[in-house]
Amino acid sequence: MSKSIAILAGDGIGPEVTKQAVKCLDAIAEVFNHKISYQEALIGAAAIDATGNPFPEATEEICKATDAILFGAIGHPKYDNDPTAKVRPEQGLLAMRKKLGLFANVRPVNSYEVLLPISPLKEEIIRGTDFVVFRELTGGIYFGEPRGRSEDGNIAFDSCVYTKHEIERIAHYAFKAAEKRRKKVTLVDKANVLATSRLWRETVTALAKQYPEIKLDFMFVDNAAMKIIQNPKHFDVVLTENMFGDIITDEASVISGSLGMLPSASLGTNQSLFEPIHGSYPEVAGQNKANPIGAILSAAMLLEYAFQWHEESNLIKKAVAKTLDEGFTTEDIFKENAKGTEEVGDKIASFIKSDSKVLAN
Ligand code: IPM
Ligand code: MN
């Protein structure tokens, strides 16, 4: 099989972790005799420096012409403390999500046996955690109009806006995912306060009738923030709006042990993008210290969701698990005897190649 992937490495640690993901994809291509071609494109601070635009048209075209997009990270400290900056790297990511229609962000959260001791949470609470968050990605307060500042500059406003259509299309994805899992959807909202949340409840309740096998429950986001770390096994599929999903998935990463572990998929009708949920982590950029596993697991999600290469995707996940079992990790996980970004990437790629022989025999 022959496929093409757009590589948007982005800022900070983005390029070095993406390189490891590509290394693993190349290992898969070798083992399964596939042909994967890559097209690199600019995004974020790197794109602003080169073109003045954080999501240049040339990048948009490459994204539309390829079979899937692998994305690294976005953000640069020179913009973070400058409220006057007119163009910000993050606008590139938001513009890309909107222009490519990537409305469903899928963020799986799992605990790993070997990583249980490094989580600040109690082992018995997090052992066996396995849920997935469906975060709406192109609506809500991130994009709602009107937004801005009053003329005198003393008032600022953002609007949270949702349409029934926006809610329905991601809800279908969440219910379909639940059908293949433990058949439970938890809608996280703030329906006791927000009109948009009440529309979510109403719409999702009506839509749930099409999925009689699925149990739907509701939880206010403040309560959910507590439950996620108090009893994460309560959750199977979590369905929620854009900003709540952003916040609770960073929180949930504590269960896996490091933000560097979590992958994500952003799905649309025509395009799909895969990225680790971590940011650009400029403090360690270029130092061969960043954890590449979030990026590598994002590549595994790419194979599963964009190409439907399930066996290939599972092989990457198995190779990651094996590497973790050996305690072969970057410093965010085990400080003692920590390995570099490249070395962890090499190890996972080598397990992909050797495990495949075991499978073949
Ligand atoms: C994420 C990030 C982005 C978001 C930022 C960088 C705009 O935090 O993908 O979770 O808020 O969606
Ligand atoms: Mn976030």
3-state secondary structure the chain: CEEEEEEEEECCCHHHHHHHHHHHHHHHHHHHCCEEEEEECCCCHHHHHHHCCCCCHHHHHHHHHCCEEEEEECCCHHHHCCCCCCCCHHHHHHHHHHHCCCCEEEEEEECCHHHHHHCCCCHHHHCCCEEEEEEECCCHHHCCCCCEECCCCCCEECCCCCCHHHHHHHHHHHHHHHHCCCCEEEEEECCCCCHHHHHHHHHHHHHHCCCCCCEEEEEEHHHHHHHHHHCHHHCCEEEECHHHHHHHHHHHHHHHCCHHHCEEEEECCCCEEEEECCCCCHHHCCCCCCCCHHHHHHHHHHHHHCCCCHHHHHHHHHHHHHHHHCCCCCCCCCCCCCCCHHHHHHHHHHHHHHHHHHHHC
Considering the domain architecture, whether residues 117 and 250 belong to the same structural domain is answered as: yes
Q: What is the pLDDT of residue 64?
A: 97
Considering the domain architecture, whether residues 127 and 221 belong to the same structural domain is answered as: yes
Q: Is 250 annotated as contributing to ligand binding?
A: yes
Question: Residue 144, Cβ neighbours under 10 Å: how many?
Answer: 16
CATH assignment of the domain containing 292? 3.40.718.10
For the segment 284-342, what is each residue's pLDDT rounded down to a tens digit? 999 999 999 999 999 999 999 999 999 999 999 999 999 999 999 999 998 889 999 99
- 330 alpha carbon to ligand 2 midpoint, in Å? 22
Catalytic residues: 142, 190, 222, 246, 250
Nearest CA to ligand 1 atom 5: 90
Ligand 1: which residues within 6 Å by Cβ? 74, 90, 93-94, 246, 277
Whether residue 5 is contained in a domain is answered as yes
Final residue belonging to a domain, choices 197, 230, 256: 256
CA separation for the pair 202, 94 (Å, rounded): 27
ipTM above 0.95, yes or no: yes
Considering the domain architecture, whether residues 112 and 224 belong to the same structural domain is answered as: yes
Whether residue 323 is contained in a domain is answered as yes
pLDDT at 35 over 90: yes
Q: Which residues surround the ion ligand 2 when the cut-off is CB under 5 Å?
A: 246
Final residue belonging to a domain, choices 227, 256, 285: 256
Considering the domain architecture, whether residues 207 and 310 belong to the same structural domain is answered as: no
Considering the domain architecture, whether residues 284 and 208 belong to the same structural domain is answered as: no
Considering the domain architecture, whether residues 220 and 118 belong to the same structural domain is answered as: yes
For the segment 115-163, what is each residue's pLDDT rounded down to a tens digit? 999 899 999 999 999 999 999 999 999 999 999 999 999 999 999 999 9
Considering the domain architecture, whether residues 240 and 205 belong to the same structural domain is answered as: yes
Final residue belonging to a domain, choices 256, 280, 312: 256
For the segment 235-246, what is each residue's pLDDT rounded down to a tens digit? 999 999 999 999
Whether residue 73 is contained in a domain is answered as yes
pLDDT at 85 over 60: yes
pLDDT-above-90 percentage for the chain: 92
Give the mean pLDDT of the chain.
Answer: 95
Considering the domain architecture, whether residues 111 and 218 belong to the same structural domain is answered as: yes
Considering the domain architecture, whether residues 111 and 180 belong to the same structural domain is answered as: yes
Domain count, the chain: 2
Considering the domain architecture, whether residues 92 and 111 belong to the same structural domain is answered as: no
Whether residue 156 is contained in a domain is answered as no
pLDDT at 360 over 60: no
Give me the mean pLDDT over the 206-219 stretch.
98
Q: Which domain holds residue 37?
A: 1-100+271-361
Q: Residue 357 — very low, low, confident or very high, per pLDDT cuts 50/70/90?
A: low
pTM of the model: 0.94
Considering the domain architecture, whether residues 1 and 34 belong to the same structural domain is answered as: yes
- Ligand number nearest CA of 93 is 1
- 250 alpha carbon to ligand 2 midpoint, in Å? 6
- 30 alpha carbon to ligand 1 midpoint, in Å? 33
Q: What is the pLDDT of residue 361?
A: 47
Whether residue 93 is contained in a domain is answered as yes
Whether residue 23 is contained in a domain is answered as yes
CA separation for the pair 238, 181 (Å, rounded): 12
Considering the domain architecture, whether residues 248 and 275 belong to the same structural domain is answered as: no
Q: Which residues contact 304 (CB under 8 A, 6 or more apart)?
A: 310, 313
Nearest CA to ligand 1 atom 4: 246
Beta carbons of 341 and 16 less than 8 angstroms apart: yes
Whether residue 189 is contained in a domain is answered as yes
CATH assignment of the domain containing 246? 3.40.50
